[in-house]
Structure 1
Amino acid sequence: MLIRSRVPLRISFGGGGTDVSPYCEEYGGVVMNATIDRYATVSLFPFSDKTIEIESIDYDAALKYDVDQFLAYDGHLDLIKGVVNYMRKTYDVHHGFKLRIHNDAPPGSGLGSSSAVCVAVVGAFRHWLNLPMTPYEVAELAYYIERKELGIKGGKQDQYAAAFGGFNFIEFNSTKTIVNPLRLRNDVVCELNHRLVLAYVGGSHDSSKILGSQIKNMASGNEETLTSLHKAKEHAIAMKAALLTDNLDDFGLLLGEAWESKKHFTAGITTPKIDVIYEKAKSAGALGGKISGAGGGGFMFFFTKPDKRYAVTKALQEEGIQIVNYSFTEIGLHTWEVRCP
């Protein structure tokens, strides 16, 4: 018997950056995001012997350890090692196993892929060890391992989006996180899916570096950064209202406003290439758009006028940009068992 664990990746519409410490503790953060049918998938194979194997399909990498050996952090698959070390220490795991990991998007894509992997691995262990963990507890543990144990800079939205799935308005403060699922009409979701063009602009970003700079700006009291983060929070709140009241054009315009605010968080969020791409999409009929994630590269999305999807798509393709077909999904972390022959 093997265990399969799958979580969706996410598009971050608004508020990203306000979920990063110390902003969320001092002012309270909010994000508006949605998950799509791109996934991080983990397969866990229990062994009868005393070895641990970790295999990454995407990196073409395979590691092997003794079951009682501490998995040292050396920049190779450290997220997976962090979960393994935590689970073995906390739940006294002495069984051998193999983990095989695959992700539909690379790190630095802006779709929360790294945190999604962490959540998927936690989910696989939860199933295998029969742990009574809620989606909140899964997300919080993944956050702890990634941000505290490993010291990787970033916020909280990715872990919660992966664990819960769907359209969510998520609130963060110093004591708790609250996930508010949005019950949107199916017509709204379908129209949003049609008019929102997802595009891979190339060049992965170093989210840890960009967010580290943002955190430094916050700590030093940089007024431009703080004002922009306040605006980002306002935009996320307004986006939620626009979707719940079926005002999709307002939602598209808010994406553009959110992008203008985001560019002032810190240096490196946009590039000359990204600015050109954005203006091309706007000229072709996009109401607004932004980077999904910390910035610098990866995926962008553009919300088009009702009859301009194909014009925007064509304009982006003429710039050598890859258009990615997708659908929204409501299912978050999901695990199941597969009987091997």
Structure 2
Amino acid sequence: MIVRARAPLRLGLAGGGTDVSPYCDVYSGRVMNVTIDRYAYAIVAAGNGRETCFHALDVRHEETHSCDNNVAGGGPLQLLKGVYARVSRDFLRGEQPSLSVKTFSDAPPGSGLGSSSTMVVALLQAFVEYFSLPLGEYEVAQLAYDIERKDLKLAGGKQDQYAATFGGFNFMEFYADDRVIVNPLRIKDWVWAELESSLVLYFTGVSRASADIIDQQSRNVGDKNQASIDAMHQLKDEAIQMKECILKGDLRRLESTLQAGWVAKKKTATSISNPLIEQVEKVAFANGARAAKVSGAGGGGFMMFLCSPEQRIGLTRALLEQGGSVLDFHFTQQGATSWRIT
């Protein structure tokens, strides 16, 4: 039997960063995001003998480990090994089965689309299917968070795991003690189509490590840096406003909300923006963009721009002259899913 799974990547529309501890533990967080038809994939099948093979196909990393020894953590395959180790410990009574575990993604690490967390969700979904584990959406998302943030000690927030698991447009609330509420939004068809037609997604060509930015944001909150905390409060308010704009179809206000959120986000850490991002943003506004934002923690990865649909072509041409690439995409309603090949 072969099990395949996939989980969708996400665009952070508003509130990103307020899902990161300690801010969400002290003040609570609010995030608005949507998933797109770009995915992280995982494949689980029976292994050979008493060995398990981990293989990240897109980055060409492969490791084989004996099932008689604990799988060593760390390294470029730490996400695959981390999920395997946690599932073995919590659901298989410590037994380490012989498996073949393969992954690949439609986006590179550091893209700002939540690719690492989405990969953990896809892996977990594949293990849930392979071993028929009794886990629902909230349990999968929380376990993915625990593996990435607690087991592997990787810096980051909570929204990516929940976005990948649930899919669609979601307004999310984050509280102390890892309490999360996901509110799926029912979007009018014309709003869905107009927003999708108005959004240009541009890859700067620079992948970035989000950990340093997230660490700085967390330190600013822990050190009670009031300017940073006030900016985080504003980000949370922008998420609430973004939800209202999308539900009401107020796209003009949505543009100003997205832009205000980007301005506030740049105040939470000094490395969120840089000369490259500022230059691309300047070119975009000179060619029809009405709002701009970096998806994810910042520093690089994907930037999103809102414009009128008839200006997409001109904006796209101008952005391509900056040396990056433009990603064609559609919003998707479906979250993580898995299936069996017998």
Taking the aligned partners of 1:80 and 1:69, their CA distance within structure 2 comes to 16
* 1:223 paired residue number: 226
Report the more deviating stretch, 90-99 or 170-179.
90-99
**3-state SS in 1 of match to 2:176:** coil
**3-state SS in 2 of match to 1:276:** helix
**3-state SS in 2 of match to 1:202:** coil
Report the more deviating stretch, 305-314 or 75-84.
305-314
Please state if 1:55 is matched with 2:58: no
Q: Deviations over 1:169-202 (max 9, x none)?
A: 0000014100000100111111111100000012
* 2:251 paired residue number: 248
* 1:114 paired residue number: 116
* 2:145 paired residue number: 143
Report the more deviating stretch, 80-89 or 152-161.
80-89
**3-state SS in 1 of match to 2:181:** strand
Shift of the alpha carbon at 1:253?
1.7
1:264 to 260, 263, 267: 267
1:275 to 269, 274, 278: 278
Taking the aligned partners of 2:36 and 2:121, their CA distance within structure 1 comes to 16
1:249–1:287: 8 Å Cα contact kept in structure 2? Answer: no
* 2:75 paired residue number: 75
The number of equivalent residue pairs is 339
In the alignment, structure 1 segments of 5+ residues that lack a partner are: none
Structure 1 residues 335 and 145: alpha-carbon distance in aligned structure 2, compared to 1, 3 A threshold: same
Taking the aligned partners of 2:274 and 2:60, their CA distance within structure 1 comes to 31
Q: Deviations over 1:292-331 (max 9, x none)?
A: 0000000000000353222211221222231110000011
Please state if 1:197 is matched with 2:200: yes
Please state if 1:171 is matched with 2:183: no
1:49–1:95: 8 Å Cα contact kept in structure 2? Answer: no
Taking the aligned partners of 1:67 and 1:332, their CA distance within structure 2 comes to 32
Taking the aligned partners of 1:48 and 1:279, their CA distance within structure 2 comes to 55
2:47–2:53: 8 Å Cα contact kept in structure 1? Answer: no
Structure 1 residues 94 and 307: alpha-carbon distance in aligned structure 2, compared to 1, 3 A threshold: closer
Taking the aligned partners of 1:68 and 1:262, their CA distance within structure 2 comes to 48
**3-state SS in 2 of match to 1:106:** coil
TM-score, scaled to structure 1: 0.97
Shift of the alpha carbon at 1:46?
1.6
Taking the aligned partners of 1:154 and 1:286, their CA distance within structure 2 comes to 29
Q: Structure 2: which amino acid aligns with 1:53?
A: C
TM-score, scaled to structure 2: 0.97
In the alignment, structure 2 segments of 5+ residues that lack a partner are: none
Q: Structure 1: which amino acid aligns with 2:231?
A: S
Q: Structure 1: which amino acid aligns with 2:131?
A: L
Q: Deviations over 1:140-172 (max 9, x none)?
A: 000001001111110000000000000000000
* 1:327 paired residue number: 330
1:119–1:138: 8 Å Cα contact kept in structure 2? Answer: yes
Please state if 1:293 is matched with 2:296: yes
2:210 to 207, 210, 215: 207
* 1:96 paired residue number: 98
Report the more deviating stretch, 63-72 or 227-236.
63-72
Taking the aligned partners of 1:94 and 1:279, their CA distance within structure 2 comes to 53
Taking the aligned partners of 2:97 and 2:276, their CA distance within structure 1 comes to 50
* 1:33 paired residue number: 33
Q: Deviations over 1:112-160 (max 9, x none)?
A: 0000111111111111111110110000000001001111110000000
Taking the aligned partners of 1:81 and 1:95, their CA distance within structure 2 comes to 13
* 1:239 paired residue number: 242
Taking the aligned partners of 1:48 and 1:107, their CA distance within structure 2 comes to 30
RMSD between aligned residues: 1.1
Within 5 A, what are the aligned runs for 1:173-188? 173-175=175-177, 176-188=179-191
Shift of the alpha carbon at 1:216?
0.9
Shift of the alpha carbon at 1:74?
3.0
* 1:11 paired residue number: 11
Q: Deviations over 1:24-59 (max 9, x none)?
A: 011110100000011000000123621100011111
